[in-house]
């Protein structure tokens, strides 16, 4: 009897071991695709109007490839004669979340403005320069 | 039963177990190797630093029986030498989903481009390789 019981135990263990593969039956998943990051467009051509030492700059909205509007811009003032970039003053300095800004305290001279789209930490290319604007003090 | 009887019984049992395993295991192994994976397809666009975008996927069950997908993940490849895959993170499947025989199921994971993703990632395309696991419910 003990021999038969032992044999039954051995067979049961063997069957359990063999059927183990069925119990953990699974199948894998597979596939490939892509995740694409935004392409920043170049800025549009701004227009600039001087009133005393203030220059109001306006530019067209830039649109991302996904159809969304660019949320912010960076405005840069250039010396129209030398082409050298200047430090843009308040309130056109830094990141502008609008389509216009008015730079105040602009020194006398002939200036041009360029605008670049900004998306979080990414900065797009500057667009064409505005027509020259003359500030007379 | 004496010690000789017990030894004989054990030997017979072991031989039987080995015979059963020898017949069954190759079948189980070959069954697993023939298992077709469920397929994953889908894409995400419009990524930019800090953006969290839906990665809409379609899971396809090629089998004539329902499957339950218990795990799904994506490995992100480098977009370029200057835009590495670690800049993009993709969530995993939140809870298991069942797919009908030869059916499709849509699921949404989240793709997030890190806030400090470099400018080299503008317009980049990351390769996504999907993996997953499913069981027969």
A115-135 pLDDT, tens digit per residue, is 999 999 999 999 999 999 999
Q: Is B115 helix (H, G, I), strand (E, B) or coil?
A: coil
Does the beta-carbon distance from A29 to B5 stay under 8 Å?
A: no
| A29:B111 CB<8 A | no
Contact B36/A27, CB-based, under 8 Å? yes
Contact B6, A3 (CB under 8 A): yes
E strand or H helix at A6, and its extent? helix A2-23
Q: Is the model's pLDDT at B29 over the cut of 80? A: no
CB of B74 closer than 8 Å to CB of B127: no
Does the distance separating the beta carbons of A25 and B17 come in below 8 Å? Answer: no
Q: Which residues of B touch A36 (CB under 8 A)?
A: 43-47, 123-126
Say what the pLDDT of residue A3 is. Answer: 56
Hey, which residues does B71 pair with through a beta bridge? B133
CB B26 within 8 A of CB A15: no
* Per-residue pLDDT at A21: 36
Name the minimum distance, in Å, from the CA of B59 to any CA of chain A. Answer: 9
Q: CB-CB: which of B6, B13, B131 is closest to A11?
A: B13
Q: Cα–Cα distance between B22 and B20 in angstroms, integer?
A: 5
Q: Count of CB contacts below 8 A, A vs B?
A: 174
> Does an H or E element contain A115, and which?
strand A109-119
Give the residue-averaged pLDDT of A2-31: 54
Q: What is the pLDDT of residue B116?
A: 94
What percent of chain A is predicted at pLDDT more than 70?
82
Neighbouring residues of A1: CB distance < 8 A, sequence distance ≥ 6: none
pLDDT digits (tens, 9 = 90+) for A61-114: 999 988 999 999 999 999 999 999 999 999 999 999 999 999 999 999 999 999
Provide mean pLDDT across the span A48-53: 96
Is the pLDDT confidence value at A6 over 70? no
A29 touching B (Cβ < 8 Å): yes
The pLDDT mean for chain A works out to 87
Does A83 lie at the interface with B, CB-CB under 8 angstroms? Answer: no
Chain A residues inside the 8 Å CB shell of B116: 121
Looking at the DSSP bridge assignments, the partners of residue B58 are B41, B106
Residue B28 has pLDDT above 80, yes or no: no
Q: Which of A7, A21, A30 sits opposite B40 (nearest CB)?
A: A30
Q: Closest to A37 (Cβ–Cβ): which among B31, B123, B129?
A: B123
Nearest CB to A29 within list B17, B50, B131: B131
């Amino acid at each position: 009897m003990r021999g038969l019981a032992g044999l039954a135990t051995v067979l049961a263990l063997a069957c359990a071991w063999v059927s183990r593969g069925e119990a953990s039956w699974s199948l894998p998943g597979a596939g490939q695709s892509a995740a694409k990051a935004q392409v920043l467009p170049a800025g549009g051509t701004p227009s600039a109007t001087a009133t005393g030492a203030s220059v109001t700059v306006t530019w067209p909205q830039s649109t991302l490839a996904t159809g969304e509007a660019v949320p912010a811009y960076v405005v840069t003032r250039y010396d129209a004669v030398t082409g050298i970039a200047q430090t843009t003053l308040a309130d056109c300095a830094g990141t502008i979340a609008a389509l216009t800004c008015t730079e105040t305290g602009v020194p006398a001279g002939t200036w041009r403005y360029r605008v670049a789209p900004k998306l979080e930490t990414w900065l797009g290319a500057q667009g064409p320069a505005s027509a020259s604007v003359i500030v007379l003090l | 039963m004496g010690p000789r009887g017990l030894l004989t019984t054990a030997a017979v049992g072991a031989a039987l177990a080995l015979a059963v395993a020898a017949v069954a295991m190759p079948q189980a192994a070959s069954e697993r190797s023939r298992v077709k994976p469920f397929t994953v397809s889908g894409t995400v666009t419009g990524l930019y630093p800090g953006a969290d975008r839906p990665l809409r996927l379609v899971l396809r069950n090629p089998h004539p029986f329902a499957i339950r997908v218990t795990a799904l993940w994506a490995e992100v490849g480098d977009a370029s030498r200057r835009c590495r895959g670690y800049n993009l993170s993709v969530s995993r499947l939140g809870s298991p989903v069942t797919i009908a025989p030869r059916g499709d199921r849509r699921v949404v994971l989240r793709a997030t481009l890190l806030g400090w993703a470099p400018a080299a990632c503008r317009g980049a395309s990351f390769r996504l390789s999907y993996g997953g696991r499913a069981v027969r419910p």
